[in-house]
A = this chain, B = another copy of it.
Amino acid sequence: MSLLVLGTVALDNVKTPNGARRDLLGGSATHFAMSARLFTQVNLVAVIGRDFPRKHIHLLKAKGVNLASLRLGEGKSFRWEGEYKKEDLNAALTLATELGVLVGFIPEVAAHQRMIPNVFLANIDPDIQWGLLEKMRKPRLVGLDSMNLWINHKKGSLLRLMKRVDLFVANDGEARMLTGEHNLIRAAFAIRRLGPKLVVIKKGEHGVFFLSDRCRFAFPAYPVEEVVDPTGAGDTFAGGLMGYLSSVGTLNEKSLKKAVLYGTTMASFNVQGFGLEKTSRLTRPVVEKRMRELMEFISI
């Protein structure tokens, strides 16, 4: 079954202990799509500006991402500039954000895409996420990601949206901020009470905790010795998770565990290169090989 993702498509300037890069293709929807495309047909809903390099569009197309609902807005593309410190590669310091075409963006979905059963609302203003959801016809599975900015400044919109989604992914800091619970297990329970029946707490290098009404489980991350650039790791994780769930079409403990493991596998590739350096070159056999390594690494 196919999958539709709404989110940002960005131009990123990134600085990490391993170096710096400018004008990288980035954004929540981009990283998500580059990951999910290895599992299912991905449809992108986003907006770019007049300055957006053509080569980036070619790359997304070449990777099989459907761009029918990628709008060309008036103005400049969304830009993000961030830095990671050696002491905490899990947390990005945002140095600058230029919203550009994101201001006033109303997502449009091509008529033939409105029946797509799997929807992921990648990180973007929760009002825009709501707008997209209004346009979809009874999706089977809706996933949601957000960030500290929206938790702080648009909590009402986010909470309203959370009542309508099935799956919520958050990193540890966001889960704590949203619920006021420091303990992540309690934070996950608190998030479930806000609406989503499936809750995924991402802990970066420390792995993932999953909670639903039927089961709970945790897995460590794949052991990466050199984290080059963690930008988009969470989106890449979500892409593997939602991509796999869309491809199998079932939501039980077995498929949920496998989906989390695929997400973990995909994220491990993402952090090993700048931007999409690694994930854009991946093939499914390479993913399967690492997935087997991960399973061996964490098996009892």
The CA of A163 and the CA of B205, in the complex, are separated in Å by: 29
How far apart sit A95 and B285, CA to CA, in the bound complex (Å)?
54
Question: Does B183 lie within 8 Å of A219, measured CB to CB?
Answer: no
Q: Let me know if A186 is at the binding interface, CB within 8 A.
A: yes
Q: In whole angstroms, what is the CA distance A207 to B218 when docked?
A: 10
* Cα distance, A236 to B158, chains bound together (Å): 42
User: Is A184 part of the contact surface with B, judged by Cβ < 8 Å?
Assistant: yes
Residues of A within 8 A of B (CB): 86-87, 182-186, 189, 203, 205-207, 209, 216-221, 223-227, 257, 261, 295, 297-300
Also in contact, A183 and B217, with CB within 8 A (given A295-B300, A300-B257, A300-B299): no
* CA A257 to CA B298, docked complex, whole Å: 10
CB contacts (< 8 Å) of A207 on chain B: these are: 206-207, 218, 220
- Which of chain B's residues have a CB closer than 8 A to the CB of A225? 183, 185-186, 189
Looking at the complex, which one of B203, B205, B218, B257 makes contact with A184 (CB distance below 8 Å)?
Answer: B205
CB distance from A260 to the nearest CB of B (A): 10
